[in-house]
Amino acid sequence: MHSPTRHHNPDREPTGGSCCAPSRSDTAQPAPAPLTASPVAGMTSALVRLPGGQFWMGSEDRDCYPADGEGPVRPVRVSRFAIAAHTVTNAEFSQFASATGYLTDAERYGWSYVFAGFLPAALRRNAHRPDPTPWWCAVPGATWWAPEGPGSDIDARADHPVVHVSWRDAQAYCAWAGVRLPSEAEWEYAARGGVEHARYPWGDEPEDEGCYRANIFRGRFPTHNTAADGYSGTAPVEAFAPNAFGLYQMVGNVWEWCADHWSADHPLGLAVDPRGPADGETRVLRGGSYLCHDSYCNRYRVAARIHNSPDSSSGNTGFRVAA
């Protein structure tokens, strides 16, 4: 392996606001009685076996966010493992909820974060909005089976990624299914698909108009989404072409929980099967979502990362499993 070229644009420093959902702790609301799930028909996702190996993790490119701990670019080796071809779907999560009676954190708390653009005026007016990210509304009754709150459903979204799931919810699903969450290093190795140093799973170049490779926000964030790629919210998990490893939508669509505690500090030497810090208050998410936008929050790159508390949930957060 050769060391990549390093360059950095200080104008890309994050300002505190982003398309990423705030922490649940930013909003204090009482939790009403738990809700009852409304399941849909089930599906089964395939695990893709990857050989593992050494790769360059992270980014110091001009469009990275240094404060997010994207760099330094560093050598990492991962052992062979298997990872799901796509994120867990509504249908798959429904099987789990039906079999176990499990209630998600959104159901227990009685609310979750929904993008304001999806809500009717009455819900937008009455919902609490965190000051740094007013496009997020804390909506009572928003849950995985009612993604936009009361009156919404997933009847036509069985093959869409499940959302409004916290890290703790993802862990519960994994325990039931006999799988686990990927480590952050495994996730990035898988997302890169064997393409070294690239910004996206398909290479360095952004998409061409009319040849869309990911489900992201298109237009003027946060007020006008043209949905030119066909989707204003979540897309079916196999709606776009997979990467070279056969993995679908490793970027865009929904943020994906990883197993690791968050840290913005990384060792410079070779790390073998890193698992992040031993403890911490937040967990890592990777991949960006349908709310990422080149001009505002370009975090649908393979090296981009954020973090949130393990009980937080939103309409653009899901997960993918590994083994």
Q: Helical H runs in the chain? A: 90-100, 105-109, 121-126, 167-177, 184-192
In this predicted structure, what is the pLDDT of residue 243?
97
Helix (H, G, I), strand (E, B) or coil at 316: coil
Percent of the chain with pLDDT over 90: 76
Res. 40 pLDDT band, cuts 50 70 90: very low
In this predicted structure, what is the pLDDT of residue 27?
61
Quick check: pTM over 0.85? yes
Lowest mean pLDDT segment, chosen from 61-65, 96-100, 215-219, 254-258: 61-65
Is 85:322 a contact under the CB 8 Å cutoff?
no
Lowest mean pLDDT segment, chosen from 9-13, 128-132, 216-220: 9-13
In this predicted model, what pLDDT tens digit does every residue of 114-166 receive, in sequence order?
Answer: 999 999 998 898 899 998 899 999 999 999 999 999 999 999 999 999 999 99
In this predicted model, what pLDDT tens digit does every residue of 302-320 receive, in sequence order?
Answer: 999 999 999 999 999 999 9
Res. 30 pLDDT band, cuts 50 70 90: very low
How far are the Cα atoms of 118, 182, 307 from residue 279, in angstroms, in the given order? 36, 17, 14
Cα separation of 259 and 240, whole Å?
A: 25
In this predicted structure, what is the pLDDT of residue 51?
97
In this predicted model, what pLDDT tens digit does every residue of 42-86 receive, in sequence order?
Answer: 334 589 999 999 999 999 998 889 999 999 999 999 999 999 999
pLDDT at 15 over 60: no
pLDDT at 295 over 50: yes
In this predicted model, what pLDDT tens digit does every residue of 74-118 receive, in sequence order?
Answer: 999 999 999 999 999 999 999 999 999 999 999 999 999 999 999
In this predicted structure, what is the pLDDT of residue 24?
84
- Strand pairing partners for 256? 286, 318
pLDDT at 210 over 80: no
Cα separation of 131 and 150, whole Å?
A: 24
Task: State how far Cα 282 lies from the chain centre.
Answer: 14
Task: State how far Cα 49 lies from the chain centre.
Answer: 21
In this predicted structure, what is the pLDDT of residue 123?
87
pLDDT at 14 over 60: no
In this predicted structure, what is the pLDDT of residue 152?
97
Residue 182 backbone zone (phi > 0: left; psi -120 to 50: alpha; other: beta): beta
In this predicted structure, what is the pLDDT of residue 26?
65
User: Chain-wide mean pLDDT for the chain?
Assistant: 88
Is 310:282 a contact under the CB 8 Å cutoff?
yes
Rg of the chain on CA atoms, in Å:
18
In this predicted model, what pLDDT tens digit does every residue of 165-208 receive, in sequence order?
Answer: 999 999 999 999 999 999 999 999 999 999 989 999 999 988 87
Q: Give every CB contact of residue 72 below 8 A, 6+ residues apart in sequence.
A: 6, 58, 60, 266, 268
